[in-house]
Amino acid sequence: MREYQTTGTIRVNGGYIGLDQRQAGARRNRVRRVADGVYEVLTPIELKAGEKIRLADPDKVTLMHLDCLDKPVPEPKPAPAQAIEPAPAPAAKKPAARKSTTKKAGK
């Protein structure tokens, strides 16, 4: 979950939200605690401007009314792939020399 501050009134209709105890207490009939500081929204709740909340994946409309407070964390760079050389192909065997089936003249 990322931490946000609301810039306007927003409505959260469902899902999980991170609230502090004071915020959850004011909405105790509308949310259910599932973990420390994480609540399930049972019925729609409204948050006024200036409230700090945590959301995992807010929709685009909600994001328009939120300021992200988390500092962007750079994505870890994957380790450079080691060059894997293909195993040498087995040497092709020369076909065995064929015996001639034609008879030589004079013998």
- Does this model's pTM top 0.85? no
Question: Which residue ranges of the chain lie beneath pLDDT 50?
Answer: none
pLDDT at 57: 87
Beta carbons of 56 and 18 less than 8 angstroms apart: no
Beta carbons of 7 and 66 less than 8 angstroms apart: yes
Residue ranges covered by each domain of the chain: 2-68
Using CA atoms, how far apart are residues 62 and 17, in angstroms rounded to an integer? 13
Beta carbons of 67 and 7 less than 8 angstroms apart: yes
pLDDT at 84: 61
